[in-house]
């Protein structure tokens, strides 16, 4: 570590040795003193976006202090360093660009990939990769997707104990179909329509092959790829290296944990309980597939989109939709009518359509369930299918709820009721930690189901579907252990005994190195 990155914690004698006398105030602060001072500065900023910019600068200048601060104030800072505030940073990525962080791989670099990766000196345990085509609910932001990669890796280190020096954000620049970016003189990416079809997949093949040659044991997480590519890329590479798609599999895992927790509190079993998923894209199909595995079949899982119930007479069906298609005669009716007919115990929203769960829809769920499980998961906040207050008011305060975006506690009766955030941070850091700690060769469905069960095993307060966000570090270690054991059981990793010592060895803690 560069001694100068310690800032005011750099001992006085070391400042003299390095020729830094007079370059900083006299006081030698401890890391705790630095953290308290910077926290006061963050709180004094005028807007969440200003706080985001300050924290991003701190992450660059002093990563030890940044991660120490984030770990001590995770509930407060999680929405600042990631969603929803990161969305604006992605939209303004080119305007805010000051220095390199991570790698940008343009289609024009397709014959230089090995040289680019060879120029990276550090060893890498985790890569988050995006092509920026479907960033959160904001659409095609091109190289603005880099902000998502940086944010996700910050959570890997803050919640999952991955050494930030062994992570790499990677943005694949294959053009953009966003007309505003194509005309914006300040946009720093390749200003041309996106390559597509076999040309696109050939380029991605070259990228993944080059990654595998340089870091054969890396965990590669795909993030914010368009639905038309996400499932294809997952199927294409999941047997080649240790990779997964967080939008499909991470979202499915944490959602499934919420469903199991909610049904347990409602006194119902997943098997036999109809589940209605509104949104039949990559995320919705991923959730459906994982719930079908947990339920022992797909008979009780229904998909619904802008055309209604997904039925077998549609002209175009994706591979992810096909296991869940229904006869045409079962596809009639709007969402409220389908709920009244189907009587689902669980309603999940991954539609990206804000306000889609109208009062009529929510009242229908309350009418057919004593304790409905309702998960409006689309983010950012404006895209949420319903707010927690709307859900609780329409259901007579009986619903069990988790949201995709963070919401403040809601007044219910004479008390404030906390809102569980169905955030992938409960799952993906532990998956990466477990796979890294035992050097797993692949990430299998069995490992993901083990992660679901580990999250679902946590004791919860009544009404909550996930542990408080303060506990995500503990959850990550539990998930890592479950993932490691599942990997060994499937012959995807070799180690003896309890994986806990390996996880402890891999767990990074923010600290300054002792100096000479």
3-class DSSP state of 194: coil
Q: CA–CA separation, 457 vs 16, rounded Å?
A: 53
Non-local CB neighbours of 19 within 8 Å, separated by 6+ positions: none
Q: CA–CA separation, 329 vs 331, rounded Å?
A: 6
Given the residues 12, 27, 67, 152, the one annotated as active site: 152
Q: CA–CA separation, 452 vs 457, rounded Å?
A: 9
Query: Which residues on adjacent β-strands are paired with residue 305?
Result: 308
Non-local CB neighbours of 192 within 8 Å, separated by 6+ positions: 175, 176, 182
Per-residue buried b or exposed e for 338-362, using 16+ beta carbons within 10 Å of the residue's own CB: bbeebebbbbbbbbbbbebbbeebb
Residue 116: CA count within 13 A, CB half-sphere: 19
3-class DSSP state of 302: strand
Q: Calculate the alpha carbon distances from 167 to 55, 85, 129, 163, 436 in Å.
A: 18, 22, 11, 7, 12
3-class DSSP state of 147: helix
Per-residue buried b or exposed e for 268-279, using 16+ beta carbons within 10 Å of the residue's own CB: bebeebbbbbbb
Per-residue buried b or exposed e for 419-458, using 16+ beta carbons within 10 Å of the residue's own CB: bbbbbbbbbbbbbbbbbbbbbbbbbbeebbbbbbbbbbeb
Tell me: cis bond preceding 365? Omega within 30 of 0 counts: no
Pairing verdict, β 415-417 and 410-412: antiparallel
Residue 486: CA count within 13 A, CB half-sphere: 22
152 is catalytic: yes
Which stretches of 241-396 are DSSP H helices?
A: 251-266, 282-295, 335-342, 359-368, 388-394
Q: What are phi and psi of 46, to 5 degrees?
A: -80, -25
Residue 192 has which token pair?
């041309």
Q: CA–CA separation, 187 vs 94, rounded Å?
A: 5
Q: CA–CA separation, 313 vs 361, rounded Å?
A: 26
Given the residues 82, 104, 156, 237, the one annotated as active site: 82
206 is catalytic: no
Q: Catalytic residues, which ones? A: 82, 152
């Amino acid at each position: 570590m560069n001694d100068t990155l310690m800032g005011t914690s750099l001992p006085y004698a070391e400042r003299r040795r390095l020729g830094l006398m007079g370059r900083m105030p006299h006081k030698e602060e401890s890391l705790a003193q630095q953290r308290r001072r910077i926290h006061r500065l963050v709180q004094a900023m005028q807007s969440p976006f200003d706080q985001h910019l300050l924290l991003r600068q701190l992450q660059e200048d002093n990563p030890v202090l940044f991660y120490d601060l984030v770990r001590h104030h995770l509930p407060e800072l999680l929405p600042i360093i990631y969603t929803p505030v990161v969305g604006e940073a992605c939209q303004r990525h080119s305007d805010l660009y000051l220095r390199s962080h991570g790698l940008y791989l343009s289609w024009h670099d397709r014959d230089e990939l090995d040289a680019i990766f060879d120029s990276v000196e550090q060893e890498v345990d985790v890569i988050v990769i995006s092509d920026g085509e479907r960033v959160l609910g904001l659409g095609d932001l091109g190289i603005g997707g880099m902000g998502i990669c940086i944010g996700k890796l910050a959570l890997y280190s803050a919640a999952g104990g991955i050494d930030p020096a062994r992570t790499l954000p990677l943005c694949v620049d294959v053009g953009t179909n966003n007309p505003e970016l194509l005309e914006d003189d300040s946009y720093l990416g390749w200003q041309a329509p996106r390559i597509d079809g076999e040309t696109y997949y050939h380029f991605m093949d070259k990228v993944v092959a080059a990654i595998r040659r340089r870091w054969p044991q890396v965990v590669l997480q795909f993030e914010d790829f368009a639905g038309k590519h996400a499932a294809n890329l997952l199927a294409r590479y999941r047997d080649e290296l240790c990779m997964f798609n967080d939008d499909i599999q991470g979202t499915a895992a944490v959602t499934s944990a919420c469903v199991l927790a909610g049904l347990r509190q409602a006194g119902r079993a997943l098997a036999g309980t109809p589940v209605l998923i509104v949104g039949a894209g990559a995320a919705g199909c991923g959730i459906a597939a994982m719930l079908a595995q947990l339920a022992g079949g797909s008979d009780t899982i229904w998909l619904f989109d802008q055309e209604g119930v997904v039925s077998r007479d549609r002209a175009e069906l994706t591979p992810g939709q096909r296991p869940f298609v229904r006869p045409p005669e079962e596809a009639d009716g709007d969402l409220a009518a389908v709920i009244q007919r189907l009587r689902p115990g669980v309603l999940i929203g991954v539609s990206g359509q804000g306000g889609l769960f109208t009062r009529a829809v929510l009242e229908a769920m309350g009418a057919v369930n004593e304790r409905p499980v309702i998960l409006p998961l689309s983010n950012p906040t404006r895209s949420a299918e319903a707010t927690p207050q709307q859900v609780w008011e329409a259901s007579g305060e009986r619903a069990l709820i988790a949201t995709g975006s963070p919401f403040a506690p809601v007044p219910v009766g004479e008390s404030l009721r906390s809102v569980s955030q169905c955030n992938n941070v409960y799952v993906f850091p532990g998956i990466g930690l477990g796979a890294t700690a035992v050097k797993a060769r692949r990430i299998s469905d069995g490992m993901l189901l083990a992660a679901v069960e580990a999250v679902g095993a946590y004791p919860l307060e009544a009404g909550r579907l996930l542990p408080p966000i303060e506990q995500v570090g503990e959850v990550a270690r539990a998930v890592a252990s479950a993932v490691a054991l599942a990997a060994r059981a499937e012959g995807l990793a070799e180690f003896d005994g309890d994986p806990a010592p390996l996880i402890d060895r891999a767990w990074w803690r923010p600290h300054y190195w002792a100096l000479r």
